[in-house]
Structure 1
Amino acid sequence: YFELENEEMYGEQFAVPEPMETVFISWFQGGEVFRSGLTYRRGAGNIFYFRPGHETYPTYHDATVQKVLRNAVKWAHNPQGANPTILDAPNVPVEKALEPIVERGGKLHAAGEAGYR
């Protein structure tokens, strides 16, 4: 998975996880900087965030930008796919949990009823 951002400069604070790598930093007149290419993970997925420029310029026709996009797709591809064991997690009653859990709030399911699958 990779993300493309193509908006006006809106500066940091940028609410993404701590990146594994910062690949590109953009510099703007006035001294503002923006992390315009970075990598991070979510679960079993690799994510490459890329902000190559504004849509009013022919950014996506640039050979270098196209190469970055091709490389991003190759990097983000996970040949092992999703982790299917996550979906097989048991729905265990609170009192049988491996670690102590304090139950709070309402319940989605009646006692003994299977959870969402």
Structure 2
Amino acid sequence: MEHLFYYYGDAKNISWVIQSNDSVTEQNREHVNIYKNKISNLQSKYIALHIGLFWGIGVFIIKNEDTIKIKCDDKEIFEHMTSKLKSKDEFIEKRTFFINQLINQRKLKVEFDLIDKSENLAKIKNKCK
């Protein structure tokens, strides 16, 4: 099955939207206290990507060997995730490790698409603000 995956994060919240065939699932979360107002918006976006994928797998929306088109509205994340370059931020590198681990364990076929911020459904649908 093919999924479109949108994600968003800021200093207080994360959200994601998974579109699959005719269904759309939206989720919003406040950061847990250890992260709330202590991480950058960039770090939060990596958390949203990681937790959103993990959640999608956990509720059986995303299954082994599915195709996921990850819609990324941040050029820095897009370039980092589509290359072998390392981030200087240890927090981001740990999230990247866990994201790649999920992708590899579940044999997901992943494509990253760079989109405009105005097209990010997870940012538009973020109700935690």
Larger % of strand: which?
2
Between Structure 1 and Structure 2, which shows a larger proportion of helix residues? 2
Q: Which of the pair has the greater relative contact order for Cα pairs under 8 Å at 6+ separation?
A: 2
Scaled by the length of structure 1, the TM-score of the pair is 0.29
